[in-house]
Structure 1
Amino acid sequence: MKSEGLIKKSGRKIWQKWSIAIRIIPLIILIATLKIISHNYGLEVIELNALFTSLVAGTIFLIGFLISGVLSDYKESEKLPSELSASMKSLFDDTYTIYKSKNTPTALEFIEFQKSFYSSLVDWFYKNEKTESILKKISDMNHFFIELDKEGIQAGYIIKMKNEQNSLRKMILRIDTIRDTDFIGSAYAILEAMGFLIGCCLLIIKIEPFYASLFFTLVVTFLISYMFMLIKDLDNPFDYSQNGESGTEISLKPIHDLKIVINDFI
């Protein structure tokens, strides 16, 4: 059983590492086929020149501009699951302390509510629950704070839990913004157009010998396609509904680890 787990883990790592390259293979096969057809039917009518190399260089520059932009958001996104988990853990700890010290029914109800909220949060990451629903549940925590105040719980505890509630709301909204907003859509459009033009030019450019031309065509196509798909993946590091927790998606391990804390709470 242990060896099977190691095999699955190593297989998952390999897929995460090469998933983009594997997804590009059909495009590479298509380009190779079209290049062979173009060569056999004498459609290679353009000679390699400086204008074409300038087009490739301009595309590489634009790729560098885009990837530098999305990386800043990606670095910020890496912190969000851990911070989200820390805020929820802090809420659990404070509620548990109140329950054990005061034995209040509201604290116990709040613990059960947080268990339900955790399940909803995981569903939200996979887009099985709407953002409005998650935000409403965060606001519903106010009912428990009011009851705890009526039961005479120290204001310091309630203020601390209110701060964690506010932190949860901010992080949920930030994640929602990152996954639903593309980085400069017009830049993606021009990159797609330039990539398409380069692909078309590669099919009709004549380079001797033919096998060198075919190799050059496939390498350039692979690099541009790979970088474009990488940028698209980095632009939405929370796309679990489409890709699961693989590839360039941010790891939800801190959130999953929180489940152990929740189950052992009472």
Structure 2
Amino acid sequence: MKVPKTIKKKSNKIWQKWSIAFRIIPVILTIALLKILSHQFDLEVIELNALFTSLIAGTIFLIGFLISGVLSDYKESEKLPSELSASMKTLYDDAYTVYKGKNSQNALQFIEFQKQFIHSLMDWFYKRETTVSILEKISQINDFLVELDNEGVQAGYIIKMKNEQNNIRKMVLRIDTIRETDFIGSAYAILEAMGFLIAFCLIIIRIDPFYASLFFTLLVTFLISYMFLLIKDLDNPFDYAENGESGTEISLKPIHDLIKAFDNLKN
């Protein structure tokens, strides 16, 4: 029996929405078990005090600092696939105009090159192709432009296509920088340390009644763990090789749409 597509889409959306929460369930269960054992064996040796609440406040401040930093890159990243797709389509339109106007075989070969290049670009997003390789293919556009120039194509077309080539190269390099660079690694380290320290203190802190203590222990652990994983995911919104196009990854729909358009084109 086949599952309807609408049900699959809804289940995928639910998974994308709650994927981080599902990933931290083992952490929450571990902390709950340790808290129960600590209570049973009278290992709750610390009383709740202002120093501990200050530690939690400092951690929240650090989380806010990190998320404000990664969000700026994330908002920029949202624009890159659509801008990349627009540059590729503009490059195709210029080549197609030259082909139709002059019946240029070089322009036709350039169009075929672009159809292959868009698939290579998708492979690059999934790290099935290296950045060096994709940059070499972008540089191969020069050969087609030289041939078009030798055919007497107007300089305005050549300059416009060179500009789009430059835009594609800049966007590829920007995406590569975003996905290969962590946002302040030392800040992640101190956040991990503070998160671990808070979880340890919550396990051995005595708060009466016990069930209130257990509830707040799990709540604080859940919030800090969730925000830490969210920041890590936002820091690399192009990690398709590991996570696919789900969760916090930037949508590649403009690239997919362009691939479909190129595959359906007839010269």
TM-score (norm 2): 0.98
What is the CA distance between 1:263 and its match in structure 2? 1.6
Aligned to 2:167: 167
Aligned to 1:205: 205
Partners of 1:5 and 1:30 in 2: CA distance: 36
Letter in 2 for 1:55: L
Aligned to 1:95: 95
Q: Is the CA contact (8 Å cut-off) linking 1:124 and 1:131 kept in structure 2?
A: yes
Partners of 2:83 and 2:166 in 1: CA distance: 13
Letter in 1 for 2:46: I
What is the CA distance between 1:41 and its match in structure 2? 0.9
For residues 123-170 of structure 1, give each alpha carbon's deviation from its aligned partner in whole angstroms, at most 9, with x where no partner exists: 000011000000000001000000011111111111100000000000
- 1:58-97 equivalences in 2 (<5 Å): 58-97=58-97
Partners of 1:261 and 1:101 in 2: CA distance: 22
Partners of 1:67 and 1:229 in 2: CA distance: 11
Percent of aligned positions with the same letter in both sequences?
77
For residues 180-212 of structure 1, give each alpha carbon's deviation from its aligned partner in whole angstroms, at most 9, with x where no partner exists: 001111111110110010010011001111111
Aligned to 1:230: 230
Partners of 2:58 and 2:178 in 1: CA distance: 27
Letter in 2 for 1:142: N
What is the CA distance between 1:2 and its match in structure 2? 11
Partners of 1:243 and 1:53 in 2: CA distance: 35
Partners of 1:263 and 1:103 in 2: CA distance: 21
Does the alignment pair 1:41 with 2:41?
yes
- SS at the partner of 2:54? helix
What is the CA distance between 1:56 and its match in structure 2? 0.3
- 1:225-264 equivalences in 2 (<5 Å): 225-264=225-264
Aligned to 1:116: 116
Aligned to 1:220: 220
Partners of 1:185 and 1:260 in 2: CA distance: 39
Aligned residues: 266
- SS at the partner of 1:39? helix
TM-score (norm 1): 0.98
Partners of 2:68 and 2:82 in 1: CA distance: 23
Quickly say closer, same or farther: Cα 1:62–1:233, change in 2 above 3 A. Answer: same
- Runs of 4+ residues deviating >4 angstroms: none
Q: Is the CA contact (8 Å cut-off) linking 1:96 and 1:265 kept in structure 2?
A: no
Letter in 2 for 1:74: Y
Quickly say closer, same or farther: Cα 1:2–1:164, change in 2 above 3 A. Answer: farther
Q: Is the CA contact (8 Å cut-off) linking 1:47 and 1:205 kept in structure 2?
A: yes
Letter in 2 for 1:81: P
Unmatched runs of 5 consecutive residues or more in structure 2 = none
Aligned to 1:129: 129
For residues 22-50 of structure 1, give each alpha carbon's deviation from its aligned partner in whole angstroms, at most 9, with x where no partner exists: 10101001111111111111111001111
Q: Is the CA contact (8 Å cut-off) linking 1:179 and 1:237 kept in structure 2?
A: yes
Unmatched runs of 5 consecutive residues or more in structure 1 = none
Partners of 2:260 and 2:176 in 1: CA distance: 26
